[in-house]
Structure 1
Amino acid sequence: MQNETPIRDLAHIPARLRPIMAALCEVGAELSHTIQRGPLGGALGAEVGVNTDGDGQKALDVMADEAFGARLRSASVRWYASEEQEEVVELDPEGAFALAIDPLDGSSNIDVNVSIGTIFSIYEAKDEANASFLRPAQEQIGAGYIIYGPQTMLATTFGKGTQLYLMDPDSRQFVLVNPAVKVSQSSQEFAINASNYRHWSKPVRAYIDDCIAGEEGPRASNFNMRWVASLVAETHRILSRGGVFLYPADARKGYEHGRLRMVYECAPIAFVIEQAGGLATDAQDPILPQSARELHARTPFVFGSPDKVSRVAAYYDLPEQEVSALFGKRGLFRA
């Protein structure tokens, strides 16, 4: 770093968590530079193996994981749980915190110059490694993400609202630009991978059908669809202008319990979103009271503006005939 302090504005960051946040921002700034160099920095998008869940690993996935693990050793982190590693790693036996991380979310987008990011979650460390993470998500004491896009930004929460920081490309310091981010309630956007329509449950199909029906449908409003295939990018859009994101469970093998990981992705994003006035569920129940069954457990995930997220959950309570593909009224949800 060119400066000793990677974060210019510290008022919203608890003093005991500042070393962790400094470490995350230092590595994030270096990753941002590497990503900006693209192929000038090597084959960042090259396949180099698979992680514990069988997902392909890119070269930059591994580089990011190693960089965060190395830097966090001096930030009072005892337990380090990474999406790229099978087991929890002990960094500092005397450390007070447990940190879960997806070092590089959306890495399949590296080669096509689409925004990618880092997602992190902070807990008080327990004596047992896995127990530090397999606990209710509402016990997080900090969470956030760094997005590497046209601007590199940090969104973070410590339980008192959500803050947004912008990395100054000249000083490479993260500067507070919004001390109290709020999820908009007025957006008419939904994000879902529509190519999986045939695999969805009837409630999810019915919800999307009603959005697509527009002004003539039960919602009596026109909607736009978005899909970036990068959780950080989807989250940042919703923080910026509202809407709803859906990654439901579906009928495909391996997707029965959803696809996104509770510990590394859903728990921290849920914390950030809810502290900004949004809502996050597994399509039916809130995410934050839930605990992961295992370190790499997956879950369905729906988040965004509260009225839209609650409406998705309500579709699961409709009578069977009302979620039929042939049912076109659903008067309960008009407007």
Structure 2
Amino acid sequence: MNKNSLGLPIGTTLDRFIKKKQDEFEFATGELSQLLRDIALAGKIINREVNKSGLLDITGAYGSKNVQGEDQQKLDVIANIRFIRALRNGGQVCAVVSEEDEEIVHLNPHCRYIVAIDPLDGSSNIDVNVSIGTIFSIYRRTSPIGGPVTEKDILQPGTEQVAAGYILYGSSTMLVYTTGHGVNGFTLEPSLGEFVLSHTNMTCPEDGEIYSINEGSFHQFDKSIQDYTNWCKDQGMTARYIGSLVADYHRNMLKGGVYLYPNTKKAREGKLRLLYECNALAFIAEQAGGMATNGSKRILEIAPTTFHQRTPFYIGSKNMVEKVVEFVAEKAEA
């Protein structure tokens, strides 16, 4: 037997990968690298909580509503606490904007980074063992370091992100992120407690056969989205909709597809949040060769006006998203 076969390498860990990439930037200080490690650590803790949720009393409703008016689940609250605590203890973040908090969470004013986060996306799936996720965006503050964080620091368009990513808690737990130099994915090796590089330079096919939309709201959609949905059926496409944004997006990025969350008669501005859901995934999508739009404008170019601003959201394979835009434009001109 070859001795080398007795000690096969496990691959590149997230820490090693981050360190290697840090060395590629001449003026890197290590702050962003540490911040990404802090997020990864919190992700491991949430993975532990999710895996034991059926054994402990941490599933079900918490008994209050978040700033969106949505019922909070216990794991929503737990995830929010874990991520904010990890970011505070890591010491690289001056402020956090979270789906679960109405106002800015102020941390260390002497730091340069701001994190916008949905700590646990897919709350309705928590109790039924369906994939859920975390979504995060990282920005540099625009105000002087040491002073108070301002609204202007928070309300930056997605083009100003320095990093973004998501953690998917599913059949395996994955962390996917970009710093604007491609997209890489890391799978958690549970026996080691390490994220290991498993998906290098991830790309999204230009076309696909999957469309993802909640067709239960079909009669609430604008005519353009109704027509597009019917067109997908006429083309023989496959409908796949999990109801967890991270899981639906991740599948479509790998296999090719389009995810749609349009505005409806009940929610004229859309439902998904620009700062801590759409911007992050749009940044990843574009780095992977995909596209993200609100139907008329590139998501990353939308100037936010409020912390919890909502938007229609169409993301995925470039050619498929462009087809959605065609349908929206045709109805707007009619």
SS at match of 1:41: coil
Identity within the alignment, %: 37
Give the corresponding residue for 1:243: 257
Among candidates 232, 251, 273, match of residue 246 of structure 2: 232
Are 2:121 and 1:105 aligned? yes
Per-residue deviation, 1:319: 5.8
Amino acid paired to 2:117: I
2: CA distance between counterparts of 1:129 and 1:89? 12
Per-residue deviation, 1:321: 10
SS at match of 1:126: coil
Amino acid paired to 2:110: E
On the 8 A contact 2:164/2:280 being kept in 1, the answer is yes
Give the corresponding residue for 2:329: 317
2: CA distance between counterparts of 1:319 and 1:181? 34
Per-residue deviation, 1:129: 2.9
2: CA distance between counterparts of 1:319 and 1:179? 40
SS at match of 1:38: coil
On the 8 A contact 2:224/2:331 being kept in 1, the answer is no
Among candidates 33, 36, 40, match of residue 55 of structure 2: 40
Are 2:32 and 1:17 aligned? yes
Give the corresponding residue for 2:7: none
Per-residue deviation, 1:264: 1.1
Query: Could you say if the C-alpha distance between residues 156 and 6 of structure 1 is closer, same or farther in structure 2, counting changes exceeding 3 Å?
Result: closer
Amino acid paired to 1:111: D
On the 8 A contact 2:158/2:301 being kept in 1, the answer is yes
Amino acid paired to 1:64: A
Deviations for 1:63-116, whole angstroms, at most 9, x for unmatched residues?
Answer: 111111111112310011111000011110111100010000112111110000
Give the corresponding residue for 1:300: 312
Among candidates 85, 88, 105, match of residue 101 of structure 2: 85
Further displaced range: 311-320 or 134-143:
311-320
Structure 1 length-normalised TM: 0.88
1: CA distance between counterparts of 2:213 and 2:15? 34
Deviations for 1:176-212, whole angstroms, at most 9, x for unmatched residues?
Answer: 1122100012421100000111111111111111111
Amino acid paired to 1:115: S
Structure 2 length-normalised TM: 0.89
Give the corresponding residue for 2:168: 147
SS at match of 1:132: helix
Amino acid paired to 2:38: A
Give the corresponding residue for 1:185: 206
Give the corresponding residue for 1:206: 227
On the 8 A contact 1:78/1:98 being kept in 2, the answer is yes
Aligned length: 309
Amino acid paired to 2:92: S
Are 2:172 and 1:156 aligned? no
2: CA distance between counterparts of 1:286 and 1:170? 41
Among candidates 187, 191, 199, match of residue 170 of structure 1: 191
Give the corresponding residue for 2:146: none
Gapped regions of structure 2 (runs ≥ 5) = 1-12, 23-27, 144-148
Are 2:15 and 1:7 aligned? yes
1: CA distance between counterparts of 2:79 and 2:329? 42
Per-residue deviation, 1:307: 0.5
1: CA distance between counterparts of 2:174 and 2:200? 13
2: CA distance between counterparts of 1:188 and 1:289? 28
Are 2:161 and 1:136 aligned? no
1: CA distance between counterparts of 2:217 and 2:154? 31
On the 8 A contact 1:8/1:174 being kept in 2, the answer is no
2: CA distance between counterparts of 1:48 and 1:175? 37
